[in-house]
Structure 1
Amino acid sequence: MPGLRRLFAVRKPTAVEVLPWIPTLFGVALMIGLMVISIVLSLRPDSAGDSTAAEPGALPPPIEFAVPDDPEPTAPPPSTPAVTPSASVVPTRPAAPVRTTPGRETPPDPEEKSPPAVPQPPQTTVTGRYQVLDSFGDSFIGEVLVSNRESSPQHWTVRLRFPSNVGNLRTFWVEGAPQGSMRRSGDTYIFTSGVPVNGRSSVPLRFHYDRVGSGDTPSSCTVNGATCSI
Structure 2
Amino acid sequence: MSGMRRAPRPSHGPVAVTSSPWIVVCVGFVVMVVLLFVVLGAYRGRSPAPDDVSAPTLPLPQTPVPLTGPAPTSSARPLLPGLSPRATGLPPSLAAGSRAPTVSPSAGPRSTTRAPDRPPAVSGRYRVVQSFDGGFIGEVLIANATGEDRGWTVRLDFSGGRLVTTWVEGVPQGTVRQTDGADFTYVSGVDVPAGASVALRFHLERASTRPQGCTVDGVRCTGF
Instruction: State TM-score, norm by structure 2.
Output: 0.46
Instruction: Pick the structure with greater CA Rg.
Output: 1
Q: Comparing both structures, which one devotes a greater share of its residues to helix?
A: 1
Instruction: State TM-score, norm by structure 1.
Output: 0.45
